[in-house]
Amino acid sequence: MERRDFIKTGGLAGLGAGLTILNFPVFGKNAPSNKLVLGVMGINSRGNWLAQCAAKLPGAEIGYVCDVEDGAIARGLKAISGAQEKKPTVIKDIRQLLEKKDLDALFVATPDHWHAPAAIMATAAGKHVYVEKPCAHNPAEGEMLVAAAKKFNRLVQMGSQRRSWPNMQQAVLEIKEQQVLGKIYYGKSWYLNNRKPIGIGKKIPVPDTLNWDLWQGPAPRRDYLNNIVHYDWHWRWHWGTSETCNNATHELDCLRWFMDLEFPTKVTSAGGRYAYPKDDWETPDTQTLNFEFEGGKAISWEGRSCSNYKVEGSDRGFAIFGENGTLYVPGNDSYKIIDNQGKTVKEVKQAAPTEQKATNVVSPAGEYYDAIHINNFLESIRGNATLNAEINIGYRSTLLPLLGNIAQRTGTILHTDPSNGHILNNPEATKLWKREYEKGWAPKI
């Protein structure tokens, strides 16, 4: 990829070891005087990190933080104080935050059940949105978010940050335009971790520091248990979306991108809660997903949440197979091209070193690479770039693991419409295309 093209996509002005987060271009519309006021919803973990990264970019200010737990708010404010001088205003109710006229864009880094409803509300309020993956808890609200972005003419970027990484963009050109692998037909991906049991939750009074009603928001009400907040909601279907949407979304997005895939024709899933079956973890900790597409192509994902024996030498990553060889990506911004005799014919290493682990729950890639994607979002708002992971792309990539979840929960093979991904001739599975919402909280456009 030419340097000038990378700048147009909202990338860094230069690459290489030793660059800091402040090496972004500062000129014209991107001058600090052209300030964008940002709000961050969900400031405990990933949102905390996104806020720090965004606050360091020229012309960006975290004007508001929105969270419902006092400890998270305190941690968020402390982290942001090291990145900007002005202290953000704290607003706990997202509905009140979206009334602020000076708010330009909202970052959504909440539990999954909030992602699409909050993003839809924000677009309706005239705000641009950066929403973490998965962009939706179920396919129906993902479609609604796509429709909302179009109706309200707002930019919505999903946190598929690999779409903004320079070496991934270069590898796509080699695979798709230069066809270094020839005809490609199969891609595989994986994610491995060593998560521990979450135990059996106890019903206890809601802590005074937490607004449990706002935390649940659009989800139908459930009793508070002591093993849900802050992280282990991921493994409960009511709020979370399994390891599939938590992590497979990234690599499946790359396979779709590299292989020119849209909606599948067939989806299968195998797995279960095998490692520690006597706790409250409902979603699979061990799972394989398979997707077939028109044109003789297929992709797969293997997830092991509780066993981290590496695949192809890495904790996460993907490989693409073609008639002339294989592309291997070990979960970061580097890649190898290997011929059919097993010889490495090209190796590209990532420009900026990172100490982050691929399984780091806050930022697998590190500040440099997260900031590239955030900067692409901000520059797109300014009119200097085009979104690298706009919501049409984000929804299609989120839909794959969501369909995998539906196949897993129903124990059925899904046959789907290749024009839109809708499930065909399977009433049981179709019921899971959408969810029920707490009265008064259903997303609307």
**What are 43-62's pLDDT values in tens digits?**
998 999 999 999 999 999 99
Residue 118 backbone dihedrals phi, psi, to 5 degrees: -65, -40
pLDDT greater than 50 at residue 345: yes
pLDDT greater than 70 at residue 416: yes
Q: How high is the pLDDT of residue 353?
A: 67
Predicted TM-score of the model (pTM): 0.93
Q: Note the CATH number of domain 3-162.
A: 3.40.50.720
C-alpha to C-alpha distances, 382 to 151, 308, 409, nearest whole angstrom: 20, 42, 43
Q: How high is the pLDDT of residue 38?
A: 98
Instruction: Express each pLDDT in 71-91 by its tens digit.
Output: 999 999 999 998 999 999 999
Q: How high is the pLDDT of residue 55?
A: 96
Which segment of 11-15, 110-114, 176-180, 348-352 scores lowest on mean pLDDT?
Answer: 11-15
Q: How high is the pLDDT of residue 15?
A: 31
Which segment of 20-24, 190-194, 219-223, 271-275 scores lowest on mean pLDDT?
Answer: 20-24
Q: How high is the pLDDT of residue 5?
A: 46
pLDDT greater than 50 at residue 401: yes
Q: Note the CATH number of domain 163-201+210-364+390-433.
A: 3.30.360.10
Give the residue from 290, 301, 246, 247 showing the smallest Cα distance to 416.
290
In angstroms, rounded to a whole number, what is the distance separating the alpha carbons of residues 341 and 347? 16
Instruction: Express each pLDDT in 103-120 by its tens digit.
Output: 999 999 999 999 999 999
Q: How high is the pLDDT of residue 11?
A: 52
Positions of CATH 3.40.50.720 in the chain: 3-162
Positions of CATH 3.30.360.10 in the chain: 163-201+210-364+390-433
Q: How high is the pLDDT of residue 360?
A: 72
The confidence band for 437, taking pLDDT boundaries of 50, 70 and 90, is: very high
The confidence band for 10, taking pLDDT boundaries of 50, 70 and 90, is: low
Q: How high is the pLDDT of residue 7?
A: 39
Give the residue from 179, 174, 131 showing the smallest Cα distance to 154.
131
pLDDT greater than 90 at residue 17: no
The confidence band for 20, taking pLDDT boundaries of 50, 70 and 90, is: very low
Q: How high is the pLDDT of residue 351?
A: 84
pLDDT greater than 90 at residue 291: yes
* Mean pLDDT within 257-286: 98
Instruction: Express each pLDDT in 195-233 by its tens digit.
Output: 999 999 999 999 999 999 999 999 999 999 999 999 999
Which segment of 1-5, 30-34, 177-181, 411-415 scores lowest on mean pLDDT?
Answer: 1-5
pLDDT greater than 50 at residue 183: yes
Token pair of 1 as six digits: 């990829």
The more confidently predicted of residues 164 and 360 is: 164
Q: How far apart are the first and last CA of the chain?
A: 39
pLDDT greater than 50 at residue 3: no
Q: How high is the pLDDT of residue 26?
A: 42
Instruction: Express each pLDDT in 143-168 by its tens digit.
Output: 999 999 999 999 999 999 999 999 99
Residue 170 backbone dihedrals phi, psi, to 5 degrees: -65, -40
The confidence band for 363, taking pLDDT boundaries of 50, 70 and 90, is: confident
Burial class (CB in 10 A: 0-12, 13-18, 19+), 170: middle
Sheet holding 128-131, edge to edge: 89-90, 60-66, 36-41, 105-108, 128-131, 156-158
The confidence band for 29, taking pLDDT boundaries of 50, 70 and 90, is: very low
Task: Provide CB contacts within 8 A for 327, sequence distance 6+.
Answer: 171, 175, 181, 258, 319, 320, 335, 336, 337, 338
State the DSSP string of 120-183.
HHHHHTT-EEEEPSSS-SSHHHHHHHHHHHHHTT--EEES-GGGG-HHHHHHHIIIIIS-TT-S
